């Protein structure tokens, strides 16, 4: 039986153990990660934590709705065995929430047509082949950008403060995003600090020879995968190959430690093509989105 359990009533030890041992395990599902990034969250639990589906939610005009928090790339169903069906959880979800927008994970693809989902994409690069083989598959633009980076004498730093990335993101990326606020940046800083303290993340900053911060990225490390969670660059100082240099240095750093480099991905064709120019392949996930509100209320989540 599937139960709906509020965060305050959750058996955190059993919940986190399910996330850790599940077939779909990733850092995003752990209680500490959700506590940092989500306004509120609850969990759909199968029996005695045999499978779980964390549900981030908010309330607007007295109506609770499911939303996709920033800094969480995948959620969905986490199960200890293959036979657990995503659809059974989605039916329960619909009984509790009339509106939902939720990213599932890359293993949650067997979904019935009536549970309408959109397709999102992430770009994964296999690191098993080693750096030299990976580099050979970079396209001409990536190799050209690395020459620019070398000529610009860019410097990589793996010991910088999280504030450097947050500040660079605010100044260059956030201005182009419609829905991002100070709380979101506080959450990002919280994730970075927790991961750094627990050695599940690393921060890379890139400087020009004049000691100007030109690029920054944060990577989370879990099991066989290194994932670029967030990145930013100085939009006024772009003709130096800094973005390509940043990814290349991360790939070089992680090639002997992990099997997969996750670029963080995008469904935008231009960004996806950029990641694929490193030799990455596209992996899809499902985005659940429905609106079963009464007609007049549907305006509240247009």
Higher pLDDT, 295 or 115: 115
Residues in the chain: 302
Put residue 265 in one of left, alpha, beta given phi > 0 → left and psi -120 to 50 → alpha.
left
- Residue 293, pLDDT > 70, answer yes
Distances (CA, A) of 117 to 20, 86, 111, 121, 287: 26, 12, 8, 13, 5
Q: CA-CA distance, 184 to 199, in Å (whole number)?
A: 22
Per-residue pLDDT tens digits for 232-283? 999 888 889 999 999 999 999 999 999 999 999 777 889 999 999 999 999 9
Q: Distance between alpha carbon 240 and the CA centroid of its chain, in Å?
A: 27
Domain with residues 2-119+286-301, CATH architecture: 3-Layer(aba) Sandwich (3.40)
Residue 288 gets which letter from DSSP?
E
CATH fold, domain 128-258, is Aminopeptidase (3.40.630)
For the chain, the maximum distance between any two Cα atoms, rounded to a whole number of angstroms, is 62
- Residue 30, pLDDT > 70, answer yes
Which tokens is 196 given?
């750094």
- Structural contact between residues 262 and 228, judged by C-beta atoms closer than 8 angstroms: yes
pLDDT band of residue 168 (cuts 50, 70, 90) is very high
Q: State whether the Cα torsion 1-117-9-197 is positive or negative.
A: positive
Can you tell me the mean pLDDT for 16-31? 98
Of 278, 212, 196, give the one whose Cα is nearest residue 245.
278
- Structural contact between residues 206 and 242, judged by C-beta atoms closer than 8 angstroms: yes
Radius of gyration of the CA atoms of the chain, in A: 20
- Structural contact between residues 6 and 64, judged by C-beta atoms closer than 8 angstroms: no
- Structural contact between residues 100 and 54, judged by C-beta atoms closer than 8 angstroms: no
- Residue 116, pLDDT > 90, answer no
Share of the chain above pLDDT 90, in %: 85
Indicate the pairing of strand 260-262 with strand 225-233: parallel
- Domain residue limits, the chain: 2-119+286-301, 128-258
Q: CA-CA distance, 134 to 261, in Å (whole number)?
A: 11
Q: CA-CA distance, 200 to 45, in Å (whole number)?
A: 26
- Residue 91, pLDDT > 60, answer yes
Fold equal for 2-119+286-301 and 128-258 = yes
Predicted structure pTM score: 0.93
Of 81, 76, 80, 79, give the one whose Cα is nearest residue 111.
76
């Amino acid at each position: 039986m599937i139960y709906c359990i509020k965060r305050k009533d959750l058996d955190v030890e059993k919940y986190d153990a399910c996330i850790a041992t599940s077939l779909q395990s990733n850092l995003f599902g752990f209680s500490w990660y959700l506590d940092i990034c989500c306004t509120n969250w609850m969990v759909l639990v199968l029996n005695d934590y045999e499978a779980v589906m964390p549900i981030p939610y908010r309330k607007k005009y007295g109506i609770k709705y499911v939303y996709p928090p920033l800094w969480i790339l995948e959620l969905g169903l986490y199960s200890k065995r293959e036979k657990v069906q995503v659809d059974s959880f989605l039916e329960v979800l619909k009984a509790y929430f009339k509106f939902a927008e939720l990213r599932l994970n890359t293993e949650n693809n067997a979904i019935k047509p009536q549970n309408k989902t959109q397709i999102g994409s992430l770009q994964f690069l296999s690191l098993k082949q080693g750096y030299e083989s990976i580099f050979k598959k970079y396209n001409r633009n990536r190799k050209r950008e690395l020459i620019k980076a070398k000529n610009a004498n860019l410097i990589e730093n793996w010991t910088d403060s999280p504030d450097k990335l947050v500040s660079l993101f605010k100044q260059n990326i956030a201005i182009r995003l419609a829905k991002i606020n100070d709380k979101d940046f506080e959450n990002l800083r919280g994730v970075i600090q927790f991961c750094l303290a627990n050695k599940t993340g690393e921060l890379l900053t890139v400087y020009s020879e004049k000691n100007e911060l030109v690029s920054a990225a944060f990577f989370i490390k879990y099991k066989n995968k290194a994932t670029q969670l967030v990145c930013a660059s100085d939009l006024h100082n772009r003709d130096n190959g800094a973005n390509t240099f940043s990814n290349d240095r991360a790939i070089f750093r992680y090639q002997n430690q992990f099997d997969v480099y996750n670029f963080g991905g995008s469904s935008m064709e231009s960004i996806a093509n950029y990641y694929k120019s490193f030799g990455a392949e596209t992996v899809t996930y499902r985005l659940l989105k429905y609106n079963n509100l009464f007609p007049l209320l549907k305006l509240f989540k247009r």
